[in-house]
Structures are given as structure tokens and as C-alpha cells.
Amino acid sequence: MKQIYLAVGSVTGTATAVAERVALELKDLGHEVQLDSQASVAALTQQDFDAILVVTATTGQGDIPDNLLPFYAELGDTMPLQTGKPFGVIALGDSSYMNFCGAGEKMEERLYELQAVAPVPKVTIDATETVTPDDDAVFWLKEWSAAALA
């Protein structure tokens, strides 16, 4: 059983619904999940999580949603190293925008800066191509969890 910190960035709720589904799947696999829609460095560092997951939409022009932006900034300001810790990013976006899944890219870069490791590359979920983002996320999650939570 592993402990996973699941940070969510969402504007209109799609990423939140995906994160809730992901949390259910992880719990079914026997893991503990802290789903956080107001993610913070304090919550991340309050216990020694085994892995970090980020589910985020992109807003504006490649921007991180308001409820995840403080976490992104705080991680950059305080640099709490996560050396060797597995992470994964589920990035929701829409390929008709210029910066497709830009928020997911930013979060991924930040976690790499903190020396976390991605056993499986992030997944991008395109609103123009799927109406079942939660199923797409779970498909990716199976591979990620096998690699990150073994």
C-alpha cells in the first residue's frame, strides 16, 4: 500500500472529475490517496508520500488553473526537493488552443526541477478527441501505477 499526493488544477470541473476517478481506481488497487484541490507545499511535505500525481486542465493561454497556481509558484519559491520520488502528470487540454496542455508541461518541468522522476511520460488528453477523459486517464494510470507504485 502506497500513499499518493494527488494535486488537481481545474476551472470548470473536468479535471476534478478525472482526479476523483483516478483516486477511486488507486484506492481499488489498495493505495491511499490525498486528493487536494488546493494543493500546497505544506500538505505535500506533511507526510512522506510515496508518489505525486498531478491532474490539471490548462486555462488562459497555456496557463495553470487558479487553484493549482499557488502550488506551482510555491514549489518554485521553496524548492522542496523530491529526489527520486515517482511522479505522474495527467494533462487535460484542447488542441485548438496554441499552448496545448501547457499547464501540464509546466507542472512536469517543475517536478523535474525538484528531482522527482517520471517512470511513465505524462499523458495529454485532448478535449477535441475524447468525450471520456476519465477512461483515458485510467488507461494511462494502469501503466503508471505498475511502474511507480510497484
Ligand X SMILES: Cc1cc2nc3c(=O)[nH]c(=O)nc-3n(C[C@H](O)[C@H](O)[C@H](O)COP(=O)(O)O)c2cc1C
Q: State in angstroms the smallest separation of the CB of 46 from ligand X.
A: 25
- Are the CB atoms for 43 and 7 separated by under 8 Å? no
CA 92 to chain centre: 10
Q: Buried (b) or exposed (e) across 16-28, using 16+ Cβ within 10 A?
A: bebbbbbbebbee
Q: Buried (b) or exposed (e) across 109-129, using 16+ Cβ within 10 A?
A: ebbeebebebbbebbbbbeee
Q: Which of residues 39-78 bind ligand X (CB under 6 A)?
A: 57-62
| Site membership for ligand X, residue 131 (CB under 6 A) | no
From residue 92 to residue 121, the character string flagging contacts with ligand X as x (rule: CB under 6 A) and all else as - is xxx--x-xxxx-------------------
Q: State in angstroms the smallest separation of the CB of 106 from ligand X.
A: 11
Nearer Cβ to ligand X (20/50): 20
Nearer Cβ to ligand X (3/14): 14
Nearer Cβ to ligand X (125/149): 125
| Site membership for ligand X, residue 36 (CB under 6 A) | no
| Site membership for ligand X, residue 83 (CB under 6 A) | no
| Site membership for ligand X, residue 22 (CB under 6 A) | no
Nearer Cβ to ligand X (10/145): 10
CA-based nearest residue to 119, from 149, 91, 82? 149
User: Per the structure block, which three cell numbers stand in for 56?
Assistant: 490539471
Tell me 4's DSSP state. E
Residues of this chain that bind ligand X (CB under 6 A): 10-15, 57-62, 92-94, 97, 99-102, 127
